[in-house]
């Protein structure tokens, strides 16, 4: 019997089976329910599940259990083990390596049995087991390619083969595999894999990339519909929202939706809470929002979860360095000599606005700005130093006519459009006092603070008396860090 209710619940599924089959078969299906779960909570092809269960040689069942246990160690090790020391990370890798070695030995012992070496279930077990590592393995491709040829309805084999091609960076072949699995039965693994893959596919036209990103979001939402408790799917949805935001830069709500999705993912303590990608990407969002405390914590956790991944540690050190340099430049007034500083401040006081209005009547001093958006007000500052070499955003330390210093961060602007020694006017400035506690490693330490103005729309700026204009607008690019994407 072929059932096509792709999102039916477990109970509804079994009730439908009772209508068509004797009770003993239902009992048998209950015993095999874990197999159905591998399809992502989707029960489209029940007859296929029964055939697969019946055809697997009994000798392979212990191997199947061992492979599941190995993946559980890989994906859920820190659910029951602390991440506070690198030794625990080494222990995880050792446990996975030991399990894989034992599984390979089991499969080797079975290979000589009559017909086993060419049995598609045996080949699937071998390919599935070897695919546990992060690197491409030609043996995985060989095994799984044979499986899908012998059993073209094998959803798990198609998904595993897609992941193998992904590691090979053969994105077109990976997409073909995931689509094939999805066409057999709509399942969360294929949907979220396609969602991730679409954001990596090379494109020749901007509209093509935009369409891929929008389809990626749709696929991620569809995966959630199949299993609202799966943290991995929520993580992919969060990444999709980030991609759609940075591709359009139109709706800040997409950023909020990404954070909500990451929060939901973290509720799944088995699948997502200890995923370094999740903490890395969420930290990147917090950094963009200038929520630096949360950003530092996220980078630190990602580094703890995967010490061999250099990106989290690099991001952590870079952000700590940027914050410390900002504080230092403000405290030491950018090392500007007294005479030069007095001249700059005097010019800011006397130089009239572009419309001829006296400066003191036109511009609000930094010290008088309130926290948040200062509607209908303008402030004018001279950029005294660049904090770092980052192209987007551009971060400066500046001084106003009262001699008050602040950090000015300008997003979405061409790197040559605004430079040190220029005077800028910021309409309706978004002002905050940044407070952060850190030491050399971004951990608990000395509390520092500094005033900050964030400029998201540089088109509104005046630079040396002239409007910047849309020609200097550049969209920020998102770097989603995910070893699985």
Least Cα distance to 393 among 369, 417, 377 occurs for 417
Q: Does a cis peptide bond (omega within 30 degrees of 0) precede residue 393?
A: yes
**d(Cα 180, Cα 157) in Å, to the nearest integer?**
10
Distances (CA, A) of 113 to 51, 56, 119, 127, 128: 22, 14, 10, 18, 20
**d(Cα 228, Cα 230) in Å, to the nearest integer?**
6
Least Cα distance to 102 among 63, 144, 141, 73 occurs for 63
For 83-132, give the DSSP string: -SSHHHHHHHHHHHHHHHHHHHHHHHHHTTSTTGGG-HHHHHHHHHHHTT
pLDDT of 22 reads 47
| Residue pLDDT, tens place only, 157-178 | 999 999 999 999 999 999 999 9
Residues in the chain: 485
Name beta bridge partners: 410.
394, 455
pLDDT of 86 reads 52
Per DSSP, the chain holds a count of helices (H) and strands (E) of 19, 9
Cα angle, residue 251 at apex, residues 203 and 195 outer, rounded to 5°? 40
For the chain, which residues score pLDDT lower than 50? 1-9, 11-12, 15, 18, 22-51, 53-54, 442, 444, 483-484
The H or E element containing residue 214 is: helix 206-226
Neighbours of 472 (CB within 10 A): 18
Instruction: State the pTM of this model.
Output: 0.78
Name beta bridge partners: 232.
none
**d(Cα 207, Cα 439) in Å, to the nearest integer?**
44
**d(Cα 188, Cα 182) in Å, to the nearest integer?**
9
pLDDT of 418 reads 93
pLDDT of 474 reads 75
pLDDT of 9 reads 46
pLDDT of 323 reads 93
pLDDT of 290 reads 93
Q: Are 65 and 28 in contact (CB under 8 A)?
A: no
**d(Cα 463, Cα 450) in Å, to the nearest integer?**
24
Between β-strands 446-455 and 405-410, what pairing exists: parallel, antiparallel or unpaired?
parallel
**d(Cα 33, Cα 48) in Å, to the nearest integer?**
13
């Amino acid at each position: 019997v072929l059932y096509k209710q792709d999102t039916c619940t477990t109970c509804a599924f079994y009730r439908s089976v009772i209508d068509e089959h004797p009770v003993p078969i239902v009992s048998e299906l209950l015993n095999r329910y874990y197999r159905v779960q591998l399809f992502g909570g989707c029960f489209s092809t029940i007859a296929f599940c029964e055939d697969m269960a019946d055809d697997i040689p009994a000798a392979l069942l212990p191997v199947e259990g061992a492979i599941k246990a190995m993946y559980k160690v890989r994906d859920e090790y820190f659910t029951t083990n602390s991440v506070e020391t690198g030794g625990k990370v080494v222990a995880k890798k050792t446990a996975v390596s030991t399990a894989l070695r034992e599984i390979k030995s089991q499969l080797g012992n079975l290979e000589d049995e009559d017909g086993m070496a060419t049995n598609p279930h045996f080949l699937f077990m071998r390919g599935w087991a070897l695919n546990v590592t992060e690197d491409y393995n030609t043996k995985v491709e060989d095994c799984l390619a044979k499986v899908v040829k012998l059993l073209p309805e094998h959803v798990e084999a198609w998904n595993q083969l897609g992941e193998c091609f992904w590691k090979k960076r053969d994105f077109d072949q990976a997409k073909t595999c995931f689509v094939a699995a999805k066409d057999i039965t709509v399942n969360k693994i294929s949907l979220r894999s396609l969602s991730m893959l679409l954001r990596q596919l090379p494109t020749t036209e901007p509209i093509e990339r935009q369409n891929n990103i929008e389809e990626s979001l749709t696929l991620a939402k569809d995966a959630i519909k199949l299993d609202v408790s799966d943290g991995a799917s929520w993580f992919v949805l969060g990444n999709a929202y980030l991609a759609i935001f940075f591709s359009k830069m139109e709706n800040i709500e997409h950023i909020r939706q990404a954070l909500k999705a990451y929060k939901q993912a973290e509720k799944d303590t088995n699948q997502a809470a200890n995923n370094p990608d999740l903490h890395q990407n969420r930290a990147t969002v917090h950094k963009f929002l200038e929520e630096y405390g949360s950003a530092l914590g996220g980078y630190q956790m990602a580094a703890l979860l995967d010490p061999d991944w250099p990106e989290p540690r690099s991001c952590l050190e870079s952000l700590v360095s940027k914050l410390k340099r900002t504080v230092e430049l403000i405290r030491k007034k950018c090392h500007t000599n007294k005479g030069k500083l007095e001249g700059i401040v005097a010019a800011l006081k006397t130089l009239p606005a572009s419309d001829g209005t006296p400066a003191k009547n036109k511009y609000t001093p930094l010290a008088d700005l309130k926290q948040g958006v200062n509607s209908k007000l303008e402030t004018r500052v001279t950029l005294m130093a660049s904090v770092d070499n980052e192209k987007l955003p551009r971060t400066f330390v500046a001084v106003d006519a009262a001699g008050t210093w602040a950090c000015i961060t300008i997003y979405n602007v061409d790197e040559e459009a605004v430079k040190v020694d220029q005077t800028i006017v910021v309409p309706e400035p978004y002002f905050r006092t940044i407070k952060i506690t850190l030491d050399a490693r971004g951990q608990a330490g000395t509390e520092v603070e500094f005033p900050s103005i964030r400029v998201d729309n540089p088109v509104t700026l005046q630079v040396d008396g002239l409007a910047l204009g849309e020609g200097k607008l550049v969209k920020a690019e998102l770097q989603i860090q995910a070893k699985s994407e």
